[in-house]
Structure 1
């Protein structure tokens, strides 16, 4: 449907939606009481103990989705009580026909079927909270909420107890939450924020205990209040969780290679601990952490040469990640990227004349600790310290001598983060400091010896948090040998050697670099039907963060603007909808106007709970400083693209998504065709399956190949690339009960790239592609024994050569995990992982590559048993 028609057809609901959005809800209060001396509460889901009579039921939930502000189809009631050690919560979820209660099972934090949730802001700071969710089937969900509901951290796994029951009126749930799992002040009388959400699965409906208008200014700031908490004593948490792992690796032996004899075994152990330093600050410790049950990263290839960003998956670093987050320029640019800790060693034994080598996959983390929390005075604190070991690679040289070489030095990583709330919690200011210090060695002088970064950020909200202004600033400093700093200047992130750049140049004598960055944004974030923002960010040429942060590209100034219109009142044909317009421009620090882009996108949730989202963009100006890897600024032809995705009702046992992305440029300079199919099937409440497949074609007539010299003049050689990739991700989850699950993950990934029609850069910023490059004719280029020879001046003598750039990459990774939480907080894992990685023949089709490079290869197998026990002291 054209955008204009969509806007016109949706606008009839504007007046009704505006009236609902103007509605202001009074803050509700629930008054709890202590059950000390009134008897005990047994967590069995029956809510029949005498102690429950000390508090009253509270009801009158109000619908939030899809029809905000109306009465829900089914009502819900809650009770809250407490004693010296625990908070007790009871829910009664009415359902006229109990047979329609959806009792789907899932992994922890999976939120399947019907569920009810409790949110507690025990700091009472309007920004952070603790969330506890229980499904009708007994599956737990728990998340730490921060940034007023913009971040939900599901890696937080507290110890708490719950049970559910089905009865003639619906279903009930009882919770016991130890006070040691919460953080709160030491006031004689506590006032906490309180919210509860129920999902009524049959109608895909959300109702709230504390009513909230559409497009609220936040989540936690809109909570009601929990009162009556008298004389609570903060519980200083002390938990110790040792673990042990037994591991066997099997793989295909390599003749003559002493490091690949067919199998390896190891037995390791370590310790995690959580210590409550004060009632609101906690120390997390890990010694020799193990991440063996973590999912593998998805397969990916980057033809542009930039590092691929992968999400952090390791539990120690994921938990409380939001406290240390400092994203300052959009995308993934961040002062703290925890995957730098324990990274793949940056040196290699193969540079030491090795015939066979055993290069480590990761650097050993000797230990890590983090102090985090929020005080009653509004200070949010986070300190992380980690040390990684000297990492050595063993090798055998051509004469058979064995030796080892240092490939990653002993390194200390430090992050400190602080924020302070003020102005009745409508504003904050904060800061961050990071440091990386390496114990340098002679053979690793290409690394920075020291890397520091720091920043200041702020946010201010006004008019009931409808409007906001926020900003951040960053400074970085890296130090090291002249070799290390020269390498940084030449890196793809910086490219100081660019031949047409007058504002940067390589200084081979420098031993440090200092850069800056930052962001400023102002906008309307809530209230009514409109949201918008305007802003900009910058990264100076010398900004360098990649020792402990993530920075894709320096030397950029960007301006952006976004506006979005919401329709939150259901109609006869949709439940919710929105449409947005986005625009941005970018420049480099020399003042070159490099890019402008306009995009429109929208989303509709239809009446039958199917959904559609789509968008289109126009890019009339695209220049890049990085395409020629140090060569001159390059112009891409104008680009247009659109995307369209749709999905069926996610409540159904079988549902699916389908999507397509289509990009094309003038003169067919480049293009993109991406097809996505996602299937989800739950044949049983205890069994769920998903299959996500993606196929992509990304042709390009001017893909960078190499740089050569012709009569003393640089020749930037490009070629037409026809590349395609295929991936399929299968997940199977079988839940024997909420505490015993079997999970399978498997993903084959194939990437194939073929080059032809080679050319070289003529006028890199010409508008016409035929003026931008010159194609070699058949008398100029020939192919022999894997090498292209170029006789550019046709004098019968080869002027330069380059290797065959065709390649094919194949990968298969899988994980089978049995997880048993035999008591709350203590687990046993049985893991079987498989992996195949190889280089295929780019002349083959996908079927042949699958047969020859995947199915016929012997995979590497890893078997491990991990056991943990959590002592709560």
Structure 2
């Protein structure tokens, strides 16, 4: 009888939770003071969103009564207001680590997810933690959460005797919705009780379904709102002081303006005039032995904020804009380059983005970069001349993204780069689809991309197309797909691609638990396979099989491991750097193991060793990642990261007759080498409060390649001994970067930043294996630079100025 009663309750809960919840709001003319006290009488006149349900780890379990959560919503013609009352029977145990914006740390938090179109496609997410810090992001099922997006809104959190409270004011300017007189918004509320690592939502987010944004409830009752003009100005001024080892010191004053204008309720114009990227985070440069360029992360806010539309199809690599010059200067005999800019300056950049009521998203981005010259000096006559290495260039991205059925989309993307004069131009167009069944159980996705390049000497076009099918719900999931890239496909003018001229097949299957067991809070295991063939010859270029296990224990420690196999020899058409030539890579076996202890603890650490062995004598690699962290208190924390990786008897390209006239024709030289990498990072923070933070970020990187002996690459892809090649092709790279900053958000959207930065890089062919000597010589290097800068940006709302005037 007891079992029948339990089963009845489970069925009743399933029926109840399967329905979307709805909350009624009302208009307020009463002023809401954001103090976290919730003492305005009007808060008591609106319905309560309560009965939260666990999202993780025990999906579907009701929140305990002693931790119940109550949320209310009000609105006026300027903004929507949210109050949250979060009970906790042990308020002294509420975690409240103070962090800078968009970093949660070890702290409880409350969040609200808003979809103004209620179309299940994109959430605007706003979070407040128990230390009164803010975070916000844009979230889609395809791209996840994008915390580079920053809105201007206000909030206050307050710890109480019964738990903690939050009040939030989110201006309509921070949201997107239709212009209808009667609004129904998709909304969900979220709470994490950090000490228990438990996450709850108001409307159930069912983990059996492979979607997050389509499981909102609704808020109704927003009517006849008169939205203000969305016009904002962000003027900024910066002063830089530069110094180097030669004691040359000088100052530079910069200023500029960003503009954000709401064309209508759906579309927004962002314009960047006279940009300043002097305080952008440094790049993590490495010793790159591969035949491909190193890909860098984008750290410039304009190119990261709200760019989900522009990421469709993966055609847009924003580091092309304002990156290194496209062309290398040609030197004559007895000439040397005495000045070559590392980056190209921008004139301006503009983007327009938004979405109509019918679900059509439109994105437009345009940027113009300046002419850039290198300076060459004749070592005999001492005369200098300037050589154009980057012409005036226009970069353009256009996106049309049609959403339908609340869970699918069809997208057209075009990227175009036009260079002034007789230089290379590039154009890429793509059709991208992401189709899901009504119950979000199956997915069909893919793309068809076409590139056309008009170069100085030739014109070429190519195709890149992908098709994938997946089951996306339940404990067991799988996908399989195929990809074809023709030889002349080239999107590198505004995108990035490494491998072309192949077709491939991939498959993936996984099993996960949806609710905790006696041993695990979460458990996931998967097997994936990938095989790639050279298009003309059909030879196998890649063949990988991986098995991975990822778990979270009952004490919220992560434990995982994996095995990697390359069961057959593969043909590498990229490493020789010569068209039509290939080398043969042997079979390989590898493994890794990883532990990450619970970050709630004051002391925690990450530990991950790895190992692989190739089917050649003594050819193997091994690595170790170790990262201890310690939180001294809610204000002060340090994290150290050590990463070591060594490859013994690695084989790779070092020279060829196309680059060295002393070699016989059609000669390609490979080296048998040991490659060693050390990376040391230290990150720290001290927070005075949620709006004032000191941050430390330092990185020392050392990598060297020691060549043991040399080979000739034969036409059949095998290597034969070369005892006559004697050139020194060893490589040794040391880099140092340090950022120490103070950030003060002194008003909504307004920030003062004081930054000290030092950096140095030393590259040569002489290897010194003494770690201390390498580090000391780098810091004593004449290229060690110091920069001290102060930057102020101030957010101006046109409506506030209008009221003042």
TM-score after normalising by structure 2: 0.93
The answer to whether the 8 Å contact 1:636/1:669 transfers is no
Does residue 1:773 correspond to 2:719, yes or no? Answer: yes
The equivalent residue for 2:606 is 657
Q: Deviations over 1:378-405 (max 9, x none)?
A: 0011000110011123455433445433
The equivalent residue for 1:144 is 138
Query: CA 1:624 to 1:346, structure 2 compared with 1: closer, same or farther past 3 Å?
Result: same
The equivalent residue for 1:719 is 671
Does residue 1:515 correspond to 2:462, yes or no? Answer: yes
- Aligned to 1:853, the other structure's residue is in SS state helix
**Distance in 2 (alpha carbons) for counterparts of 1:705 and 1:20:** 66
Query: CA 1:180 to 1:617, structure 2 compared with 1: closer, same or farther past 3 Å?
Result: same
**Distance in 2 (alpha carbons) for counterparts of 1:711 and 1:164:** 71
- Aligned to 2:667, the other structure's residue is in SS state strand
- Aligned to 1:344, the other structure's residue is in SS state coil
Aligned-pair Cα RMSD in Å: 2.2
The answer to whether the 8 Å contact 2:527/2:545 transfers is yes
The answer to whether the 8 Å contact 2:692/2:742 transfers is yes
Q: Deviations over 1:473-507 (max 9, x none)?
A: 0000111211xxxxxxxxxxxxxxxxxxxxxxxxx
**Distance in 2 (alpha carbons) for counterparts of 1:23 and 1:669:** 62
Find the partner of 2:434 among 459, 466, 469: 459
The answer to whether the 8 Å contact 2:573/2:583 transfers is yes
**Distance in 1 (alpha carbons) for counterparts of 2:756 and 2:645:** 30
**Distance in 2 (alpha carbons) for counterparts of 1:822 and 1:217:** 40
The equivalent residue for 1:60 is 51
The equivalent residue for 1:863 is 788
Question: Matches of residues 82-121 of structure 1 in structure 2 within 5 Å?
Answer: 82-112=75-105, 113-121=107-115
Shift, 1:358, TM fit: 2.6
Find the partner of 1:320 among 303, 306, 314: 306
The answer to whether the 8 Å contact 1:41/1:51 transfers is no
The equivalent residue for 1:167 is 160
Shift, 1:309, TM fit: 1.2
**Distance in 1 (alpha carbons) for counterparts of 2:329 and 2:142:** 47
The equivalent residue for 2:452 is 477
Shift, 1:173, TM fit: 0.7
Find the partner of 1:420 among 402, 412, 429: 402
Shift, 1:218, TM fit: 1.0
The answer to whether the 8 Å contact 1:18/1:529 transfers is no
The answer to whether the 8 Å contact 1:539/1:557 transfers is yes
**Distance in 2 (alpha carbons) for counterparts of 1:175 and 1:149:** 28
Q: Deviations over 1:526-553 (max 9, x none)?
A: 2x21111110112110001111110111
**Distance in 2 (alpha carbons) for counterparts of 1:193 and 1:279:** 17
Does residue 1:291 correspond to 2:277, yes or no? Answer: yes
Shift, 1:368, TM fit: 0.5
The answer to whether the 8 Å contact 2:453/2:490 transfers is yes
Query: CA 1:244 to 1:403, structure 2 compared with 1: closer, same or farther past 3 Å?
Result: farther
Does residue 1:270 correspond to 2:256, yes or no? Answer: yes
The equivalent residue for 1:626 is 574
**Distance in 1 (alpha carbons) for counterparts of 2:618 and 2:13:** 50
Find the partner of 1:742 among 676, 694, 697: 694
Query: CA 1:849 to 1:20, structure 2 compared with 1: closer, same or farther past 3 Å?
Result: farther
The answer to whether the 8 Å contact 2:762/2:781 transfers is no
The answer to whether the 8 Å contact 2:268/2:352 transfers is yes
The answer to whether the 8 Å contact 1:454/1:474 transfers is yes
The equivalent residue for 2:297 is 311
Q: Deviations over 1:515-573 (max 9, x none)?
A: 010110111112x2111111011211000111111011111111101011011221222
Question: Matches of residues 234-383 of structure 1 in structure 2 within 5 Å?
Answer: 234-253=227-246, 262-327=248-313, 334-348=314-328, 351=331, 355=336, 357-383=338-364
The answer to whether the 8 Å contact 1:669/1:701 transfers is no
Query: CA 1:819 to 1:377, structure 2 compared with 1: closer, same or farther past 3 Å?
Result: same
Q: Deviations over 1:580-607 (max 9, x none)?
A: 0101111122142313221111101011
Find the partner of 2:681 among 715, 725, 729: 729
Question: Matches of residues 635-714 of structure 1 in structure 2 within 5 Å?
Answer: 635-668=584-617, 670-708=619-657, 714=666
Shift, 1:428, TM fit: 1.8
- Aligned to 2:621, the other structure's residue is in SS state strand
Shift, 1:356, TM fit: 6.1
Query: CA 1:755 to 1:102, structure 2 compared with 1: closer, same or farther past 3 Å?
Result: same
**Distance in 2 (alpha carbons) for counterparts of 1:711 and 1:745:** 46
The equivalent residue for 2:739 is 815
**Distance in 2 (alpha carbons) for counterparts of 1:305 and 1:40:** 62
The equivalent residue for 1:407 is 389
Question: Matches of residues 429-448 of structure 1 in structure 2 within 5 Å?
Answer: 429-440=410-421, 447-448=423-424
Shift, 1:186, TM fit: 1.0
- Aligned to 2:308, the other structure's residue is in SS state helix
Q: Deviations over 1:621-651 (max 9, x none)?
A: 2221112221622211111111111111111
Find the partner of 1:617 among 548, 564, 567: 564
Query: CA 1:711 to 1:409, structure 2 compared with 1: closer, same or farther past 3 Å?
Result: closer
**Distance in 1 (alpha carbons) for counterparts of 2:350 and 2:656:** 46
Shift, 1:357, TM fit: 2.2
Q: Deviations over 1:366-387 (max 9, x none)?
A: 0000000111110011000110
**Distance in 1 (alpha carbons) for counterparts of 2:667 and 2:607:** 43
Shift, 1:847, TM fit: 1.9
Query: CA 1:22 to 1:46, structure 2 compared with 1: closer, same or farther past 3 Å?
Result: closer
Shift, 1:452, TM fit: 0.4
Shift, 1:738, TM fit: 1.2
- Aligned to 2:44, the other structure's residue is in SS state helix
**Distance in 1 (alpha carbons) for counterparts of 2:31 and 2:263:** 30
Shift, 1:189, TM fit: 0.9
Q: Deviations over 1:140-169 (max 9, x none)?
A: 0011123x3642111221111111111111
**Distance in 2 (alpha carbons) for counterparts of 1:715 and 1:656:** 49
The equivalent residue for 1:70 is 61
**Distance in 1 (alpha carbons) for counterparts of 2:384 and 2:143:** 54
Shift, 1:852, TM fit: 4.4
Query: CA 1:403 to 1:196, structure 2 compared with 1: closer, same or farther past 3 Å?
Result: same
- Aligned to 2:331, the other structure's residue is in SS state helix
Find the partner of 2:372 among 387, 391, 405: 391
The equivalent residue for 1:13 is none
Query: CA 1:20 to 1:635, structure 2 compared with 1: closer, same or farther past 3 Å?
Result: farther
Shift, 1:695, TM fit: 0.4
- Aligned to 1:684, the other structure's residue is in SS state coil
- Aligned to 2:616, the other structure's residue is in SS state helix
The answer to whether the 8 Å contact 1:183/1:234 transfers is no
**Distance in 2 (alpha carbons) for counterparts of 1:546 and 1:389:** 19
Does residue 1:157 correspond to 2:132, yes or no? Answer: no
The answer to whether the 8 Å contact 1:611/1:647 transfers is yes
TM-score after normalising by structure 1: 0.86
The answer to whether the 8 Å contact 2:650/2:675 transfers is no
Does residue 1:601 correspond to 2:548, yes or no? Answer: yes
Shift, 1:346, TM fit: 3.1
Q: Any gaps of 5 or more consecutive residues in structure 2?
A: 1-9, 799-805
Query: CA 1:651 to 1:22, structure 2 compared with 1: closer, same or farther past 3 Å?
Result: farther
The answer to whether the 8 Å contact 1:235/1:279 transfers is no
**Distance in 2 (alpha carbons) for counterparts of 1:221 and 1:269:** 43
The answer to whether the 8 Å contact 1:417/1:430 transfers is yes
Q: Any gaps of 5 or more consecutive residues in structure 1?
A: 1-16, 254-260, 328-333, 442-446, 483-510, 766-771, 782-789, 791-800
Query: CA 1:149 to 1:162, structure 2 compared with 1: closer, same or farther past 3 Å?
Result: farther
Shift, 1:669, TM fit: 6.9
